[in-house]
Amino acid sequence: MNHPLGFSRNVVKRNYALLTPAGFVPSHVPGWSNVVFNVLISPALGARFSQHLVTFAKAGKGAGNTGRQQFFAFVVSGSVTLNKKPLDAGSFAWLPPRSEFTISGTDARLLLFEKPYEPLAGTDVPTALIGRESKIEGQPFLGDPDARLQTLLPDTPAFDMAMNIFTYQPGATLPFVETHIMEHGLLMLAGQGVYRLDSDWHPVQEGDVIWIGPYCPQWFVCSGKVPARYIYYKDVNRHP
């Protein structure tokens, strides 16, 4: 869709960014074929991790080695096969550093996070895991049953990244304006709302991507008539 006079909801600032599907531009990434590979968040933006959206056409495929990175993959729609294991919508996988991987699919969308793994003395690197968000019960966030949090990765010192899904009922909010050292990368999975980022206010909806840098004030309200859901990353369990 063409936008008159160059209008866009996209905003890129020092400590946050809002990126909308209308502005996504694909990249050619070695090891991937028959896919649209959108690099959404990366160190070039100021982040300490990368977030990608991979859309598989017919016989889409990616293969390689994670190297010093850890991978987290979430199937947004359709189904893919990861190292011969089928994953349908809502399924996720975590791969440790130096893991070989082959991902294939057709008419599917995959959200992919990459972050250098930081070893912790006295703690073994976790082994690969696969899960499904529908099997993880949402817990009331700070006692609010209308704002529920699903924790996808184990909350243990071995993991230096967290992946969560937040679901808000209409009118539900974050209970206060958060300001913290962790950074976030998120994808709106459903619904709409308003996100406060720093001192700015932005309407957001399904498909939007947000990067939130350390110490950026943040707050969210679900402003639509249906629940709003987003999946997000944060760095955890390591000394700053």
Which H, E and C letters describe the chain, residue by residue?
Answer: CCCHHHCCCCEECCCEEEECHHHCCCECCCCEEEEEEEEEECHHHCCCCEEEEEEEEEEEEEEEECCCEEEEEEEEECEEEECCEEEECCEEEEECCCCEEEEEECCEEEEEEEEECCCCCCCCCCCCEEEEHHHCCCEEECCEEEEEEEECCCCCCCCCEEEEEEEECCCCECCCCECCCCCEEEEEEECEEEEEECCEEEEEECCCEEEECCCCCEEEEECCCCCEEEEEEEECCCCC
CATH superfamily, region 25-133: Jelly Rolls (2.60.120.10)
The segment(s) of the chain belonging to CATH 2.60.120.10 are 25-133, 134-235
pLDDT at 121: 96
pLDDT averaged over consecutive 10-residue blocks of the chain (240 residues)?
81 98 97 98 98 98 98 98 98 98 98 98 97 98 97 97 98 98 98 98 98 98 97 97
Q: What is the pTM of this model?
A: 0.96
CATH superfamily of 134-235: Jelly Rolls (2.60.120.10)
